[in-house]
Homo-oligomer: A and B are copies of this chain.
Amino acid sequence: MANKVQVLYDFSAEPGNNELSVREGETVTVTNQNIGGGWIEAQNSRGEVGLVPEDYLELSKPSPLTGAGTTTAPPSVGNVAAAPPPDLSFFDAFAPASTPAQSQTSNGGGDPWSAWNTDATGGASNNWASKPEGTQTGRSAAPDPWGAQSHPQAYQGPGAEEDEWDDEWDDVKSSGYAESESGEGGAFQRGGAQGTAMKISLNKFPGFSKSGPELYLLAKQLVKGSQKLSIYMGEVGPVWSYPDNQLDCVVADPKKGSKMYGLKSYIEYQVTPNTTNRPVNHRYKHFDWLYERLLDKLGSAIPIPSLPDKQVTGRFEEEFIKMRMERLQGWMTRMCRHPVVSSSEVFQLFLTYKDEKDWKTGKRKAEKDETVGVMIFATIEPEAPDLDPIEVEQKCDQFSRFTKAMDDGVKEILTVGQEHWKRCTGPLPKEYQRIGKAFQNLSSVFNSSGYQGEATLTDAMTAAGKTYEEIALMVAEQPRKDLHFLMETNNEYKGLLGCFPDTLAVHKAGIEKVKEGDKLVATSKITPQEKVTMAKRVSTMSYTLQAEMNHFHSNRIYDYNRVMQLYLEEQAKFYETIAEKLRQAHAQFTTM
């Protein structure tokens, strides 16, 4: 074809992806325009051949072979592409990885790590104070948390994951789940894909968006035949009914899969539950689907923490994969620990589907489930007398205060921790390194003295200098060994606490409705019997909230006990190792 074209934007190839890095203004030769998926094979002036996003090239006309929805690269992508390739150090990968809060619309952004850069109190109170009661809750597409740092990968802007999701969604092949994405479906389905994504987001919160808690409070008929969720009175108050054997699972063995003739690749994780001990494979988007289902079904009663955020850059960078896996593991562990979540049909499907058909059937069933939103309360049966509405309100307020205070406390730790992380990985090791260099420099000056018999001193000083260089490295490495887990746990709790305003708002709206009871009866909007039913049902909501809080508390105690122990243990080891190294350095000096 020998068609020479000009490059419109800088594009940096993802290693191992058969891509070709090109610079704006460069001329390349198109060697294969029939690749599909928005990619073109091209050759540069140095003879290197590889794939370049079609939109990055000034082609005379759109290729008829490429699908719709891929014809324009937004200028912003081009601008972003011109930015220097990000240095994906561990910290970079760590800091901006964002788990969007459950209620992004009202929180105005999905980057929970943003609090790391702001005053903890300020950030925290804004989130909480500005939240109107019973506000509409919806999860919009996350704004790109990477901003200018984003790696210029075509089709990976916001919505890209949905595209991939959808192309797979509608094109599952019978040739095994993992391979299903390798088919031709990919890019050609993009147009339709966007539509599906839209439909999903409109349907996300039927309970919240349609009617609020009165849907449940005033329902003529509660859900029939549904599995009932029990709440008992335990030592600490209302508690969920916990299974005898705690469900757990291991997320491991991330594997790179590919589709579109190997042009695009993705990561598949192996998830092995302790019940069947049989691994199933899931991509990130499957976790995301599960999250959406759980949010739909249980989100009104149970805070469902967000997944670790989607991340565009460095998807195949080892460190990032490890990080995402670690966070998916954390999320799954938390979900497994919850008796209501872990026993839910959709969660069980996710962990134990037998084959592709099983998965597909289960998925469709889960999406058709009508016991979602506030109707979940209809399946809850507290085995205790109804609560007084005043007591209900008090409990709600108490939990509200506690979660708000804990949110502040957690954010304070995140803020301080981030600063400490920066110091430990930035100026502090640099200073130790400079101390080390200064000792070594002086030692080498001493070596040039021409004076006899000072080799013991100069050797020892050099060793001391090297010890400080080693300490510098240790200091820089240490946060990954201890602070990392403290940060991760607190970050998880920040996400979890961020769900409570919504959960509490549902509860609060229920209380308000009951308060209006007399007025509603007087204006004949409800019957006196309905008023009684409402009071009974709001009592159920309160038991649920209390069971949930108690679940939260017991997990919190467990988690903080564990993470504080880990942190202090690793810190102690760290200082012991430094002391040991210094003792060794000390021993090299002669005692005079």
Q: Which residues of A contact B (CB under 8 A)?
A: 235-236, 398, 401-402, 405-406, 408-410, 412-413, 416-417, 419-420, 423, 427-428, 431, 434-435, 437-439, 441-442, 445-446, 448-454, 457, 460-461, 464, 549-550, 553-554, 556-558, 560-562, 564-565, 568-569, 571-576, 578-579, 582-583, 585-586, 589-592
Q: Measured between C-beta atoms, what is the minimum distance from A393 to chain B in Å?
A: 15
A-B contact pairs, 13 of them (CB 8 A): A236-B451, A402-B448, A420-B435, A423-B428, A442-B560, A446-B560, A454-B557, A460-B561, A464-B568, A558-B592, A564-B589, A572-B583, A575-B582
A558 to B592, CA, bound (A): 8
| Contact residues in B for A562 (Cβ distance below 8 Å) | 592
**Given A412-B442, A435-B416, A592-B558, A405-B572 contact (CB < 8 Å):** no
Per the bound structure, the CA–CA distance linking A98 and B452 in Å amounts to 33
Contacting residue for A452 out of B236, B450, B460, CB 8 A: B236
In the complex, residue of chain B having the shortest beta-carbon distance to the beta carbon of A412: B438
A442 interface neighbour in B401, B402, B410, B454, Cβ under 8 Å: B410
**Which chain B residue shows the least CB distance to A456?**
B561
A560 with B419, Cβ < 8 A, contacts A575-B576, A579-B572 known:
no
Complex Cα spacing A402 to B439, Å = 16
Give the chain B neighbours of A560 by CB distance below 8 A: 442, 446, 457, 461
Query: In the complex, are the beta carbons of B586 and A565 less than 8 A apart?
Result: yes
- Chain B residues with CB below 8 A from A423, complex form: 427-428, 431
- Bound together, the chains give a CA A589 to CA B559 distance in angstroms of 12
Give the docked Cα–Cα distance between A49 and B459 (Å).
Answer: 64
**Complex-state Cα separation, A427 to B419, whole angstroms:** 11
By beta carbon, the residue of chain B nearest A558 is: B592
How far is A561 from B434 in the complex, measured between Cα atoms in Å?
20
Closest CB pairs A-B (n = 6) = A575-B579, A568-B586, A409-B442, A572-B582, A451-B553, A576-B579
Chain B, Cβ-Cβ closest to A431: B420
CA distance A410 to B443 in the complex (A): 11
Nearest CB of chain B from residue A531's CB, rounded to whole Å: 30
What residues on B are CB-neighbors of A409 within 8 Å?
A: 438, 441-442, 445
CB < 8 Å: which of B428, B431, B451, B576 contacts A576? B576
- For the complex formed by this chain, how many copies does it contain in all? 2
Q: Which residues from B are CB-within-8-Å of A454?
A: 553, 557
How many Å from the CB of A340 to the closest CB on chain B? 19
Q: Which residue of B lies closest to A452 (CB)?
A: B236
Contact A568 B582 (CB under 8 A): yes
**Does B457 contact A438, Cβ atoms closer than 8 Å?**
no
Interchain CB contact (< 8 A) of A586 among B457, B550, B553, B569: B569
Q: Of B398, B420, B449, which is within 8 A of A402 by CB?
A: B449
Within 8 Å CB of A405, what residues of B?
Answer: 445, 448
Q: Is the CB of A406 within 8 A of B236?
A: no
Q: Which residues of B contact A235 (CB under 8 A)?
A: 452
Q: Is the CB of A575 within 8 A of B572?
A: no
Not counting A428-B428, A561-B590, a sample of 17 additional A-B residue pairs whose C-beta atoms are within 8 angstroms of each other reads A235-B452, A402-B445, A406-B446, A409-B442, A409-B445, A416-B435, A419-B431, A423-B428, A453-B557, A454-B553, A457-B557, A457-B561, A461-B560, A464-B568, A568-B582, A569-B586, A576-B576
Nearest Cβ in chain B — how far from A426, in angstroms?
A: 12
Q: Which of A553, A554, A568 has the most CB of B within 10 A?
A: A568
CB atoms of A416 and B445 under 8 A apart: no
Which residues in B have their C-beta under 8 angstroms from that of A460? Answer: 561, 564
Partner of A434, one of B416, B434, B461: B416
Contact B431 A413 (CB under 8 A): no
Complex contacts, A410 vs chain B, CB 8 Å: 442
Instruction: Report chain B residues within 8 Å CB of A589.
Output: 561, 564-565, 568
- Cα(A589)–Cα(B565), bound, Å: 7
Contact A579 B579 (CB under 8 A): yes
Assembled-state Cα–Cα distance A568/B464 (Å):
8
Chain B residues in 8 Å Cβ range of A417: 435, 438
> Which residue on chain B has the smallest CB distance to residue A573?
B579
User: Chain B residue with minimal CB distance to A235?
Assistant: B452
CA distance A406 to B447 in the complex (A): 11
Residues of B within 8 A of A554 (CB): 451
A279, B562: Cα distance in complex, Å: 62
Distance in Å: Cβ of A405 to nearest Cβ of chain B = 5
- Least CB distance, A334 to chain B, in whole angstroms: 16
Tell me whether A450 and B572 are in contact in the complex, defined as CB-CB below 8 angstroms, given that A431-B419, A445-B409, A579-B579 are known contacts. no
Kindly state the separation between the CA atoms of A78 and B454 in the bound complex, as whole angstroms: 54
Given contacts A460-B564, A562-B592, A582-B571, contact A413 B442 (CB under 8 A): yes
Q: What distance in Å separates the Cβ of A491 from its nearest Cβ neighbour in chain B?
A: 14
Could you tell me the distance in whole angstroms from the C-beta of A445 to the nearest C-beta in chain B? 5
Alpha-carbon distance between A410 and B445 when the two chains are bound, in angstroms: 10
